[in-house]
Amino acid sequence: MEEQILQLYLNLLIKLFKFFIIIIGLFSFYLIHTIFHKTILENERIVIVDKGSNLSLIIDNIMPYESEFNKKIYYFYLIFYDHYFKSIKYGEYQLKSSINFHEITKIISNKSNYYRNFTIIGGWQQYQIKQYIFEEFKKDYQIDYNLILADTYNYFLNDDFLKLKNLMKKYKENYFENKNNNILLKKYSQKEILIIASLVEKEGKTDKDKRLISSVILNRLDKKMKLEIDATTIYAITKGKYKLERKLNYSDLKIVDEYNTYYIKGLPPNPICFVSRKTIEIVLENYKSDYLFYFYNEKIGEHIFTKTFDEHKKKLREYRTSE
Query: With bands split at pLDDT 50, 70 and 90, how would you rate the model's confidence at 42?
Result: confident
Whole-angstrom distance, CA of residue 174 vs CA of residue 102 = 41
Half-sphere exposure of 309 (CA within 13 A, CB side): 3
Q: Taking 80 as the threshold, does the pLDDT of residue 168 lie above it?
A: yes
Q: How would you write 69-137 as a 3-class SS string?
A: HHHHHHHHHHHHHHHHCCCCCCEEEEECCCECHHHHHHHHCCCCCCCEEEECCCCCCHHHHHHHHHHHH
pLDDT digits (tens, 9 = 90+) for 212-236: 999 999 999 999 999 999 999 999 9
pLDDT over 90 percentage in the chain:
69
Nearest to 226 by CA among 280, 263, 256: 263
223: Cβ contacts below 8 Å, ≥ 6 apart: 292
Phi, psi angle pair for 118, to nearest 5° = -120, 105
pLDDT value of position 17:
81
Kind and range of the H or E run holding 313: helix 309-321
Residues 78 and 100: their CA atoms lie apart, in Å, by: 13
Which of 50-59, 238-247, 275-284 is least confident?
Answer: 50-59
195: buried, middle or exposed (CB in 10 Å: 19+, 13-18, 0-12)?
buried
Contact 259, 195 (CB under 8 A): no
Q: Is the pLDDT of residue 322 over 80?
A: no
User: By the 8 A CB rule, do 290 and 311 touch?
Assistant: no
pLDDT reported for residue 323? 62
pLDDT in the model for residue 296: 92
Q: Residue 178: CA atoms inside 13 Å, Cβ hemisphere, count?
A: 8
Confidence of residue 144 (pLDDT cuts 50, 70, 90): very high
Split at pLDDT 50, 70, 90, the class of 261 is very high
Residue 23's pLDDT is 85
The secondary element (H helix, E strand) that includes residue 305 is strand 302-306
Q: How far apart are CA 61 and CA 93, in angstroms?
A: 12
Count CB atoms within 10 A of the CB of residue 216.
Answer: 25
* Pairing assessment for the beta strands 91-95 and 116-119 based on DSSP bridges: unpaired
Amino acid making up residue 35: I
